[in-house]
Structure 1
Amino acid sequence: MNNVRSALAAAALALPAATFAQANLAAATYVGVEFGTGKVSLHCPSGTRCSRVDSNRTLRAGYRFNPAWAFEVTYAHTDADWGVLFSNYSAEYVGFGVGAAYTLPLSQEVGAVLRFGGASNELKLQPAVGLGQSNPGTLTTRSVQPYAGLGLAWQFAAHWSASLNADWTRADVRDTPTSAKQAVTVRTLGAGITFHF
């Protein structure tokens, strides 16, 4: 009789753990896509009115190794183009990030997400060129920088969640081929959808 009671008690204790493990396994890997705005804090050429905010798209893939922590890789791309008389002043930011995401549950379906890590950032700048000046072409500058992010995620179905995210990093840029590097801030804001395997 004692053996039967022990077996039943063990099964009762194991059931929640097994259910939790299966739920975690089902949602351990995730892939998401976000669309929104990106801002590169460049200095606009003198005498021009250029907006530094344009479209951004971000892809995220992660592996959640416990309920709070996940390993994450990120790809972000921002384009910004502005007309300057007969030439274009444009910038393109591309970043590949590797880091961690920490989720703090606010309710059963909603959680706040904190992200941090390192990113390989590339910023391509097409300087504005006046009439009669030679075009230096696209100036590409690469750097490795830390990044940080905040998000709000809503698990609205078993395998699906929606999110709002804000991310910040730094990038280097050159105004001319021989000028020194300048550090600029890159900010992205977006809404996304994520599938949890």
Structure 2
Amino acid sequence: MKYIRLLLAGLAAGLPAAGFAQSPNLAASTYIGVEFGTGKVSLNCPANTACSRVDSNLTVRAGHRFDPSWAFEVTYAHIDADWGFLGRNYSAEYTGFGVGAAYTLPLSTSVGAVLRFGGASNELKLQPAVGLSGNNPGTTSTRSVQPYAGLGLSWQFARHWSTSLNVDLTRAALRDSPTSPKQTVTVRTLGAGIAFNF
């Protein structure tokens, strides 16, 4: 009888917690999400004029919340930017791997504002246009470690699913040629995504 009473007491204590776990909440411990949107790389265009190349962006995030407000997060972001100028084709490819923290400010039981910050290993590949002589200058790839920051709005509409809008900013280094000095450009991603919360 003693063991039965202990078992019943344990079940009774666990029922409220189990009921709460079925409702949407911002404290789901582990999550992985994918986002699609636009990415902008602020490059120098031909004739050394400032411009921004905008194209599609893919971002993947995985994180673990160690309390309702703070999470450890890793990110992957990729942008492909292609454009033309007087019949010449150029391309820039950005890839970033980030490690950082995400802070969630609850706005309701299922909606939260998210602030992100951390460091990222960024690579920017530039393919200049083929010259008039037909010589291909080749692709220049430059890596750098840069800080990043982001802001998002998340809505957890079911126990395991959430959707979000996010904007992230970082920097990347770039060389016009293998021997030229590095220049720093701004990289921005803007996207909408969906995440699975374990």
Q: Which residue of 1 aligns with 2:179?
A: 178
Shift of residue 83, structure 1, vs aligned partner = 2.0
Which residue matches 2:34? 33
Report the RMSD for the aligned CA atoms in angstroms: 2.6
SS at match of 1:46: helix
Alignment of 1:123-162 (within 5 A): 123-132=124-133, 134-162=135-163
Structure 1: gaps of 5 or more residues:
1-6
SS at match of 1:41: strand
Unaligned runs of 5+ in 2: 1-5
Seen in structure 2, the aligned counterparts of structure 1 residues 87 and 104 have a Cα distance that, compared at 3 Å, is same
Letter in 1 for 2:152: G
Alpha-carbon offset, residue 128 of structure 1:
2.3
Residues 121, 108 of structure 1: CA spacing in aligned structure 2 closer, same or farther, 3 A cutoff?
same
Identity, % of aligned positions: 76
Matched-pair contact (CA < 8 Å) for 2:43–2:50: no
Q: CA deviation at 1:60?
A: 0.2
The answer to whether residue 68 in structure 2 is matched with residue 75 in structure 1 is no
Give the 3 Å change call, closer, same or farther, for CA 20–168 of structure 1 in structure 2. Answer: farther
**TM-score (norm: length of structure 1):** 0.85
Offset at residue 16 of structure 1 (A): 9.3
- TM-score, structure 2 as length reference: 0.85
Report the count of equivalent residues. Answer: 186
Name the structure 1 match of 2:99. Answer: 98
Indicate the residue corresponding to 1:87 in structure 2.
88
CA distance in 1, matches of 2:182, 2:143: 10
Alignment partners' CA distance in 1, 2:193 and 2:121: 22
* 1:85 shift after superposition: 3.8
Shifted more, 140-149 versus 44-53: the winner is 44-53
Q: Given the superposition, is the C-alpha separation of residues 179 and 172 from structure 1 closer, same or farther in structure 2, using an over 3 Å criterion?
A: same
